[in-house]
Amino acid sequence: MKTFTYIFLISLISLTFSCNKDDDTDALTKDGPFLISELAGTWEATKAQFSVNTVSIDVVEDGGTARMSVQSNGRFTMTLDPVDRDAYTVSGEMFWEEWKQTFYFAIAWDDYPDDWDTYGHTFDGTTLTFNGGADTGEYDFDDDGDMEACSIHFILVRS
């Protein structure tokens, strides 16, 4: 019985420390290094790059356009108009993911509402950049109607 009590106490102590919510929980917020509401307005892309493996397409560099409209609550709509196909619209919500006292710029795309990705970013009041690693965006590279997972890099200026 003494061994069982000892094992039970050790297990209870381990469980208490391993479930510390302060260390393991992400917090979603609109308040981070800057308020998400500061992005409200209309944005024009100077770069809208999609990359996978050795293939990279910049919609703007190729002569197309990308425009984004952001509401003060972080909801946004982006219209991409490549030169070689019909324009299309994507939407989602921007916020901060706070984890271990660090803030990560995050986007939940409406096509995947229960999931979000974090992005490297810069913002100076008039220019917003964000870029993500593999599988943080989608683009139909071969224009066959199927979107392929890719990384993205956007530079947008307030218009």
- Where do the structural domains in the chain lie, given as residue ranges? 26-158
Q: Which of 51, 117, 103, 105 is nearest to 74 (CA)?
A: 105
Given the candidates 2.70.98.20, 1.10.760.10, 2.40.128.20, 1.10.1040.10, the CATH classification of the domain at 26-158 is: 2.40.128.20
What was the pLDDT predicted at 21?
41
141 against 7, higher pLDDT? 141
34 beta partners: none
45 against 113, higher pLDDT? 45
What gap in Å lies between CA 103 and CA 120, rounded to an integer? 11
Q: pLDDT of 17-73, one tens digit each?
A: 344 444 455 688 999 999 999 999 999 999 999 999 999 999 999 999 999 999 999
Q: pLDDT of 13-28, one tens digit each?
A: 443 334 444 445 568 8
Q: Average pLDDT in the 79-89 region?
A: 96
Average pLDDT, the chain: 87
**Polymer length of the chain:** 159
Q: Average pLDDT in the 116-137 region?
A: 96
Q: How many CA atoms lie within 13 A of 80 on its CB side?
A: 22
What was the pLDDT predicted at 155?
98
What gap in Å lies between CA 142 and CA 144, rounded to an integer? 6
What was the pLDDT predicted at 17?
39
Runs of H (alpha helix) within 19-154 = 21-24
What gap in Å lies between CA 17 and CA 4, rounded to an integer? 20
